Amino acid sequence: MLGTAGGKLVKAVALTAGIALSVMPGRSVLADNLTDAFIGAYNTSGLLEQNRALLRAADEDVAIALSALRPIINWTVRVSQDYAKSRAGTVVSSVEPSRFFSGLTLSQLVYDGGASILGKQSAQETVLATRQALIDIEQQVLFRATTAYLSVLLQEETVQIRQNNVNLSGEELRATQDRFEVGEVTRTDVALSEAQLASSQADLADARGDLSTAQAEYVNAVGKQPGRTAGQPRLPKLPGSLAEAISLAQRNHPAILSAQHQVRALDLTVQQQRAGLGPNVSLNADAGITESYDNDDYTNDASISLNFNQPIYAGGRLAANVRRAMAQRDASRANLLNVQKDITQGVTDAYVRFETATASLRASVERVRASQVAFDGIREEATLGARTTLDVLTAQQDLLDAQLAEVASRTERSLAAYQLLQAQGLLTAERLGLAVQIYDPTLYYNLVKKAPAQISKQSRDLDRVLKALRRE
């Protein structure tokens, strides 16, 4: 937890998602649902911590840019050795005085065509772009948690279905052996049932291996071992049409907002570089004591000067800086167009994926119902001698495939729904109402934006914030 100053970096948001319970033996008492996965991922993500630190670094760039508008005061110690030779008529004299200066020097920018102010404004736009990039990273972290949770759930259900199929195959083998003993079926029927049981056991072993892999990914994404899963999550509220989803994404997606701020930042950088071609005026002053090494003489002196500089020739560096800034700005504009297109495509893909998964789920549910009726009927007919063992095993496999398809379709629909949420820029801790301490990027910025001196109260507050962050 953050201290008094650090605690302001976050704000509590009430949890709105409930916890559903499901029954599965051999697991912990409390059930893990998708909300638990979100909370774990948000609180333990190293990727989020990395990008929060990058945002704080961008905040400091604003303070650095602001400092160019303020006076610079230094304690200066200067040792000088002068040499002068002069001729007066036939007399040639030379002087080599040595001096020691100790005192304060001041330099204050008076005018630079607005270059420093433009630099500060560009840094501020970069901060806004980095904040949006952090939100996009947050979406990626939460979607990875979604994928990890649904993958564990899918594999658990697959293991359960495979286990049921092994049990069913064992029952079929015992029934076939009983019928063989009374002469109703042949040794071939027994062999078919034995093969079916062995195949079911192999599939169960594969499913358990896939479950272990999914659990390992869950630990990586969420930061803890999965408990007993609470089943499929409630679907989030989704847009009524593809056009509505695209419109919302274009207005709201953090990747687009970040790219827009990047364009504005580089526009300001171009203006800053152009201003650098003009004159600048600075005020310089010093005050201190000058002593001579040759004797014990000393002087208390002070000086002040107003310096005017106009670049005339700098080897082409200044013009190259302008052209480079323009090229970077043009690249950012092109990137914005690409981001907008990618977001539109991402929304379209997620929307179509959800629609397809929904239709597939409806078909899968009907397929399971029909396959169950068919299997029950064929199994009953086999006991009367109207069906062969191969017919029963074929119907059993059809039922198994239908059950697996239904589970996969249900998981696919949930995954597509949250992918659509992410594609619109809505998969964030704040919008989901997670019971976590929401990171507040404005507090640190507000502490540093005025570039506090190292001995100020704000600087001490910053030290406490940074110490609290390092303890988390």
In a domain, 8, yes or no: no
Q: Do 304 and 342 sit in the same domain of this protein?
A: no
- The DSSP call for residue 455 is T
Q: Do 200 and 304 sit in the same domain of this protein?
A: no
CA 469/CA 472 separation, integer angstroms: 5
In a domain, 467, yes or no: no
Structure tokens at 427: 């998969």
The verdict on pTM exceeding 0.75 is yes
Q: Which regions in the chain score pLDDT beneath 70?
A: 1-31, 88-97, 293-296, 455, 469-472
In a domain, 383, yes or no: yes
pLDDT at site 364: 94
Structure tokens at 459: 């600087």
In a domain, 447, yes or no: no
In the Cβ-directed half-sphere of 181, how many Cα atoms lie within 13 Å? 6
Q: Do 306 and 405 sit in the same domain of this protein?
A: no
pLDDT at site 96: 58
The CATH number of whichever domain residue 107 belongs to comes to 2.20.200
pLDDT at site 382: 83
Q: Enumerate residues 6+ apart whose C-beta is below 8 A from 434.
A: 13, 15, 17, 35, 38, 39, 42
State how many domains the chain has.
2
Contact between 329 and 267 under an 8 Å Cβ cutoff? The reply is yes
pLDDT at site 183: 84
In a domain, 449, yes or no: no
For residue 81, the tally of other CB atoms under 10 A from its CB is 9
Q: Could you tell me the residue range of the domain that residue 393 belongs to?
A: 17-70+113-276+314-432
pLDDT at site 13: 28
Q: Do 119 and 136 sit in the same domain of this protein?
A: yes
pLDDT at site 25: 36
pLDDT at site 428: 95
Q: Do 229 and 300 sit in the same domain of this protein?
A: no
Structure tokens at 376: 């029950």
In a domain, 213, yes or no: yes
Q: Do 259 and 380 sit in the same domain of this protein?
A: yes
Cα 99 off chain centre by: 59
Q: Do 98 and 215 sit in the same domain of this protein?
A: no
pLDDT at site 23: 29
Q: Do 246 and 148 sit in the same domain of this protein?
A: yes
In a domain, 455, yes or no: no
Q: Which of 310, 325, 356 is the last residue of a domain?
A: 310
CA 234/CA 36 separation, integer angstroms: 13
Q: Do 79 and 48 sit in the same domain of this protein?
A: no
Q: Do 295 and 267 sit in the same domain of this protein?
A: no
Of the candidates 433, 348, 356, the one whose C-alpha atom is nearest the C-alpha of residue 142 is 433
pLDDT at site 90: 66
Q: Do 94 and 239 sit in the same domain of this protein?
A: no
pLDDT at site 97: 63
pLDDT at site 191: 93
Q: Do 413 and 296 sit in the same domain of this protein?
A: no
SS3 content of the chain, % helix, strand, coil (to 5): 65, 15, 20
231: left (phi over 0), alpha (psi -120 to 50) or beta: left
Q: Which of 310, 332, 365 is the last residue of a domain?
A: 310
The CATH number of whichever domain residue 219 belongs to comes to 1.20.1600.10
In a domain, 50, yes or no: yes
